[in-house]
Structure formats: structure tokens, C-alpha cells
Amino acid sequence: MSIRIGDIAPNFHAETTNGPIDFHDWIGSSWVFFFSHPADFTPVCTTEMGRTSQLSDQFEARNVKPIGLSTDTVEEHKTWVLDVNDTQNTTLTFPIVADKDLKVSELYGMIHPNESTTAAVRSVFIIDPDKKVRLTLTYPMNVGRNFDEIIRVIDALQLGDAEKIATPADWRPGGKVIIPPSISNEQAKDIFPQGWDEIRPYLRVTDVNQA
């Protein structure tokens, strides 16, 4: 099954390094950064786990809970986390799903059989508090993800929700934003009293409060 933007993230029950979870209960009223890894005790994965842990304040400031997944056991995960902490100079506290039987990986389309039938590729799902999938990303096993981009896209999604805007290519917090074509100029006068620049009738840019 492929999971698409706008879908409700499928629920599952799983063992994690922080105990058993019902995924939807665990999400609660938070956003979620759900990301998979091929295997424990592998170099790229170790750096990604460390980076996520190092960014825990950044995730928390955005009401985002990280949760990892790897196709190994809880015991293996826990031993690996000691290595992650040691080598990446961090203290990892977020849960890692133990998916030895590939149940969750299969449910989320993280197994790409022409790459591996036993290990997950590097999938990302950003899920909102309504349990809706807001972003998916898939990276190959030998390329680590860009965590600045993960944070950036969460900022873009949350700003878009708050201000009814879209964000242009390479947007960074504080940058100009786009008034979506679904908002007429009449409506825009109420929503964006600060005004906008109309570069084309379909390309209107403005500034919004980005505290």
C-alpha cells in the first residue's frame, strides 16, 4: 500500500525502545516526524539518529515528536543507542520502533524489494495532530537525510496552516510567502491587509508574521 499526502497515517501497535505503543494514541495532539532506517549498527543510520537527538529542542519547540524505525529488535536498538550516544555526543530519548517482522515497514511502504526485501529504505512521514500525512520523502540507503530540510518543511507546513499561505522555492523562515491561487484578490484584502506584490495575477507575494 502506498501512503499519500492527505491520507490518515495508518495506525499500528508496536514494541519500541520506550515500551509498547498504539501509534495514534502516541501521536496525541502533536506533530510527528516518523523516519525509517535500514538497520542498527550501520554508519549512516547512526549519524541520522544522532542528528535527530541533537535537534530534540528544535522538534519540541514545534510540537513535533520524532519516532524512528529499524528492522531489528528492541534489545538491539537499545544497545545501538548506547553507540549513538557515545559517537554522536547526545542522549537519545525518542522511541525507535522494533520492526523485526517488517509489519510496520510493509504497512508504510518502507520496503522497496528491488533495494532490499529485509531492510527499510529511508522514509520520512510528517504527520499532523489530526493524524494526516502532510509530507513523504524517500531516500536510498546510502544517502543520509538533510535535517535542516526536515525542520524547514515543518516550519513551512505550520506557517502555511497558520497564515493560509504557500512557500516559494528555497523559502526560509522570515522570507516572503505566496498567496495561493485559491484565494481571490477580494478575499486576500481581508486575509492579507498588509497588501502584496502582484508579479503575475497567479503569482502574488507578501510578508506575514513569522514569530
Interface size with ligand BEZ, residues (CB under 6 A): 8
Residue 21 · residue 14 · CB < 8 Å: yes
Comparing CB distances to ligand BEZ, the nearer of 8 and 82 is: 82
Comparing CB distances to ligand BEZ, the nearer of 42 and 85 is: 42
CB-based burial, 131-145: b 16+ in 10 Å, e otherwise: eebbbbeebebeeeb
Q: Tell me whether residue 45 is one of the annotated catalytic residues.
A: yes
Q: By rule CB under 6 A, what string of x and - marks binding of each residue 84-123 to ligand BEZ?
A: ----------------------------------------
Residues from 36 through 65 that contact ligand BEZ (CB under 6 A): 38-39, 42-45
Q: Which residue has the cell 550516544?
A: 85
Q: How far is the CB of 61 from ligand BEZ (least distance, A)?
A: 28
Q: How far is the CB of 39 from ligand BEZ (least distance, A)?
A: 6
Grid coordinates standing for 87?
559517537
- End-to-end alpha carbon distance in the chain: 39
Comparing CB distances to ligand BEZ, the nearer of 38 and 95 is: 38
Grid coordinates standing for 160?
502555511
Comparing CB distances to ligand BEZ, the nearer of 37 and 134 is: 37
Comparing CB distances to ligand BEZ, the nearer of 92 and 178 is: 92
What span, in angstroms and rounded, lies between the C-alpha atoms of 133 and 157? Answer: 11
What span, in angstroms and rounded, lies between the C-alpha atoms of 77 and 71? Answer: 9
User: For the chain, how many residues are written?
Assistant: 211
Strand partners, 14: 21
Q: How far is the CB of 17 from ligand BEZ (least distance, A)?
A: 18
Q: Helices in the chain by DSSP H: which ranges?
A: 23-27, 43-54, 56-61, 74-88, 103-107, 147-163, 185-191
Using CB under 6 A, which of 14, 97, 141, 153 touches ligand BEZ? 141
Using CB under 6 A, which of 142, 184, 194, 209 touches ligand BEZ? 142
Q: Which of 9, 27, 32, 45 is catalytic?
A: 45
Q: How far is the CB of 3 from ligand BEZ (least distance, A)?
A: 22
Q: How far is the CB of 87 from ligand BEZ (least distance, A)?
A: 13
> Burial, 147: exposed, middle or buried (Cβ in 10 Å; 0-12, 13-18, 19+)?
middle
Question: Which positions are annotated as active-site residues?
Answer: 45
Which residues contribute to the site for ligand BEZ (CB under 6 A)?
Answer: 38-39, 42-45, 141-142
